[in-house]
Chains A and B, each alone.
Chain A
Amino acid sequence: MRLFFRQAKALVKLSFVELWRRNDVFALLVLAVALMVPLSLSSPFGAAGASRYLDESALLLTWGFSLVIALGTGARLFPPEFESRTIYPLLAKPISRGSLLLGKYAGAVAASWSALLLFYALFAGSVLLRGGSLSSELAQGVVLHMAFVALAVAVALAGSLVTTPSANLAISGIALVSMFFFGRRLPEYADAVSAPLSWLVDLAYAVGPHAEFFDMRQRLIHGWGAVDAAVFFAVLLYAAFYVASLLGFAALALKRKRL
Chain B
Amino acid sequence: MTASEVVRIEGASRSFGDVKAVNGLSLTLNAGEVMGFLGTNGAGKTTTIKMMLGLLRPSEGSVVVLGGDPTDPSVRAKIGYMPEVAYYYPYLTARELLSFYGGICGMDAKTVRERTDELLEAVGLADAAKRPLKTYSKGMLQRAGVAQALLNDPSLLVLDEPFTGLDPLARIHFRELMRSLRDSGKSIFFSSHELGETELLCDKVAVMKSGRAVYQGPVRQLAGDGERNLERLFLDVLEKGGAA
A residues lining the B interface (CB < 8 Å): 2-3, 6-7, 9-11, 13-14, 17-18, 21-22, 84-86, 88-96, 258-259
Contacts and interface: CB of A to CB of B under 8 A. Distances in A.
Contact of A7 (B88, B103, B158): B103
Interface stretch (B32-40, B49-57, B235-243): B49-57
Contacts of A2: 106
Contact of A92 (B81, B85, B91, B102): B81
Contacts of A85: 83, 85, 87
18 contacts: A3-B106, A6-B107, A6-B108, A7-B104, A7-B106, A17-B91, A18-B89, A18-B91, A22-B91, A89-B81, A89-B83, A89-B145, A91-B55, A94-B73, A94-B104, A94-B106, A95-B73, A259-B50
Contact of A93 (B50, B89, B101): B101
Given A14-B92, A91-B54, 19 more contacts: A6-B108, A13-B100, A17-B91, A85-B85, A86-B87, A88-B50, A88-B83, A89-B81, A89-B82, A89-B148, A91-B55, A92-B53, A93-B101, A94-B73, A94-B77, A94-B104, A94-B152, A259-B50, A259-B55
B210 to A, nearest CB: 21
Contact of A14 (B56, B87, B89): B89
B91 A93 contact: no
Interface in B142-167: 145, 148-149, 152, 158
B209 interface: no
Given A21-B91, A95-B73, A13 B103 contact: yes
A126 to B, nearest CB: 31
Contacts of A7: 103-104, 106
B92 to A, nearest CB: 7
A10 B74 contact: no
Contacts of B77: 93-94
Nearest to A20: B91
Given A13-B100, A88-B81, A88-B83, A94 B76 contact: yes
A10 B100 contact: yes
Contacts of B56: 259
Nearest to B55: A259
A88 B104 contact: no
B96 interface: yes
B188 interface: no
The binding surface of chain A is classed by DSSP as helix
A88 to B, nearest CB: 5
Contacts of A22: 91
A10 B87 contact: no
A24 B111 CA distance: 35
A3 B99 CA distance: 15
Nearest to B104: A93
Nearest to A19: B91
Contacts of B16: 258
Contacts of B230: none
A6 B76 contact: no
B83 A17 contact: no
Contacts of B55: 88, 91-92, 259
Contact of B103 (A9, A21, A88): A9
B105 interface: yes
B79 interface: yes
Contacts of B81: 88-89, 92
B74 A86 contact: no
Nearest to B160: A88
B57 to A, nearest CB: 11
Contacts of B108: 6
Contacts of B53: 88, 91-92
Contacts of B76: 92-94
A3 B73 CA distance: 11
B105 A94 contact: yes
B115 to A, nearest CB: 14
Given A89-B82, A89-B145, A10 B104 contact: yes
Nearest to A95: B104
B87 A84 contact: yes
Contacts of A17: 91-92, 96
